[in-house]
Structure 1
């Protein structure tokens, strides 16, 4: 057990120390504000304050973890070995920066509460993040810092035995459109044919007619191939489905159609499934609850997993919706346009709501790579970026997650490239 002395115990301090020490490093912790208790303790101990009490392991703090709410903070990023750090402190500290305040800043998404320029879709873009601007977005700095802190603790307390964590990986298949042509209804199919003719996409015209006449399988119905990949490779997959009402933003087929429900049940027999909330579910808890119940009625089990496919997280309101509806796992933490570590970590973590200064019972599973990146880059560059990200995660025994779409594996995409990327994700 690690005994931590701090003059004041705040929710922020408890949250980030538990994540760094317990969640990442596996060290049980206990806090004390009593100097006498701390000095008398003969085991592993650390003080977190403005000055050391004696010769103990000492980390100097800044005031971020003592504050409440959000205010402008000065970020001066500086190199630290082969990594980066910010929130520098004096040489009295065992580390040159406040590792706990810096980790809290990234994990809580503090910068997303601050004024920023949103993109055309109202999202917090990667370009607004300190990680992107200071060129450390593609490094899991929170985990790197934690492992450097681990070396410090082990060096100071050689009798402390810490277990090595295991690297794991998982791909998420986001199903925005379960079918391309099938079950769209007469009017939508007719309009689709007309659009394909105008665009001179005669191959699509032929495919659409063949699918409607049941002479050909729908090109987006790639689920059998993906489940076969799961069986052959013996690897886990997570499938996310949208069950929202039809609108200008959400154009999937009706959730009540039998073929759609059959796909979800078929996939659910082999893999974990979750929900992609519709556009209006991010603004309305009532709408989100309705879509949650639809999924639960199909799979006959409580909904645990959600992914925001539009990536407009609307922090922290959307996460509060999930908590109130007892949805415990979110897979939305990442940038579709920029591979890397949005929250600075590759490990699942509990979300901290700065508005209420409390830890939510919601585990965030960050992803590092989105297949939409491959649509804009050459295949070699995409594979190289993916390999570097995986290497970074393996170095800290983390959890690698990548997001693909079911249409990535259709005949309208370079499915060989995407299967190659999928295999790379799971390569041991």
Structure 2
């Protein structure tokens, strides 16, 4: 155990020190603001305050962890060796930057509380983030800083027994459209048929006909393949099902369809299942509650995990709504337009609510990449995408973090805009298991 002395033990101090020491470095910590208690402690100890007490391990503190609320900040990015960092400390400090305040700024998503311009879907954009502007979006810098801190701690306390965490991989699958043609309403099926016909999409006309009359399998029905890969490679896999009512942005099969409900029930037998709240739940907590209850009735168990459709979430409101509904885990932390680490960490963390200045029970699982980001936004080929996936995975592996990917059942279909992408998922799994 490492004892931390600070002039004031605030909720922010407890929160970020526990994330860095306990979750990333596997080192238990305790806190004190009493000098005599700190001096009497015989084990490893660290002071986090404005001036050192004597010659102990000292990190000069930035004011951020002792403030409340959100203020506009002037942040200067510099380099710690080759790693971008900020909140410079000074010559007496054992490390050159206050990584605790910097990590809190990034993980709490402090910048998303500041005034910003939203995109057409009401989302905070990657381009406005510090990580994007200073080109460290594709690096889990919080974890990298933690490991650089660990090197300094080992020099100061060589006899302490340090533990190592292990690399973890989670494959998550969003079900925006369980089926391309099957089990849609008559109006949607007929409308789709004529739309394809008018636009001379004759291949789609044939596929629609063949699937409807059971001549061919529905192209989006890739669940068997995903489950067989999960079983063969022993991968933790989570399916997020969209079960909202039909809208322009929510075009899945109706949750009232028996076949769709049976599919969800079947997935529960083989993998974890979560809610994919529909597009308009962003501004409608009652709709979110309705959809959660709907999924619970299908799977006959409480819904514990969630990921917002279109990655539409707003801090802190969306997370407050999930907490009110007793959802325990959220997987929305990432950008639609860019791969990388939105919260600059590849370690799951508890959401810190800056409105109430408390650590909440909602655990956030940040993902590193999404298939539609690679294909639709970045316009990469499957081969180019695999290279980016490998780079991101290597970044996570270097700090023994949790590598989380987001794919859709559609992207394994080899159909329409996903032509040639079928093998990418399999290839990604192989490199993620090495």
CA offsets 1:55-113 (integer angstroms, 9 cap, x no match): 11100011111111101111111111121100112111111111100000000000100
Who is 1:16 aligned against?
Answer: 16
**Range that drifts further, 280-289 or 237-246:** 280-289
CA RMSD across the alignment: 1.2
Q: Does residue 397 in structure 1 map to residue 400 in structure 2? A: yes
Who is 1:220 aligned against?
Answer: 220
- State the alpha-carbon separation in 2 of the partners of residues 368 and 246 from structure 1: 29
8 A Cα contact 1:235 1:426, kept in partner: no
Alignment of 1:185-204 (within 5 A): 185-204=185-204
Who is 2:134 aligned against?
Answer: 134
Alignment of 1:8-407 (within 5 A): 8-375=8-375, 376-407=379-410
CA offsets 1:314-338 (integer angstroms, 9 cap, x no match): 0110101111111000001111221
Give aligned pairs, total: 428
Q: TM-score, normalised by structure 1?
A: 0.97
8 A Cα contact 1:49 1:60, kept in partner: yes
Who is 2:425 aligned against?
Answer: 419
8 A Cα contact 1:70 1:110, kept in partner: yes
Displacement after TM superposition at 1:339 (Å): 1.1
8 A Cα contact 1:171 1:238, kept in partner: yes
Q: Secondary structure at the match of 2:154?
A: helix
CA offsets 1:270-299 (integer angstroms, 9 cap, x no match): 111111001222222221111111111111
Displacement after TM superposition at 1:236 (Å): 2.1
8 A Cα contact 1:373 1:382, kept in partner: no
Q: TM-score, normalised by structure 2?
A: 0.96
- State the alpha-carbon separation in 1 of the partners of residues 422 and 218 from structure 2: 18
Q: Secondary structure at the match of 1:281?
A: helix
- State the alpha-carbon separation in 1 of the partners of residues 212 and 91 from structure 2: 72
- State the alpha-carbon separation in 1 of the partners of residues 299 and 138 from structure 2: 36
- State the alpha-carbon separation in 2 of the partners of residues 235 and 39 from structure 1: 48
CA offsets 1:128-179 (integer angstroms, 9 cap, x no match): 1100100111111000011111111121111211111110111111100111
Displacement after TM superposition at 1:420 (Å): 3.9
- State the alpha-carbon separation in 2 of the partners of residues 172 and 379 from structure 1: 18
- State the alpha-carbon separation in 2 of the partners of residues 251 and 79 from structure 1: 46
Which consecutive unaligned segments of at least 5 residues does structure 1 have?
none
Q: Does residue 408 in structure 1 map to residue 414 in structure 2? A: no
- State the alpha-carbon separation in 1 of the partners of residues 390 and 233 from structure 2: 19
CA offsets 1:378-423 (integer angstroms, 9 cap, x no match): 3332111111111110110001011000000113122434234432
- State the alpha-carbon separation in 2 of the partners of residues 134 and 271 from structure 1: 38
- State the alpha-carbon separation in 1 of the partners of residues 23 and 253 from structure 2: 41
Displacement after TM superposition at 1:425 (Å): 4.8
- State the alpha-carbon separation in 1 of the partners of residues 236 and 280 from structure 2: 30
Displacement after TM superposition at 1:116 (Å): 1.4
8 A Cα contact 2:386 2:424, kept in partner: no
8 A Cα contact 1:170 1:426, kept in partner: no
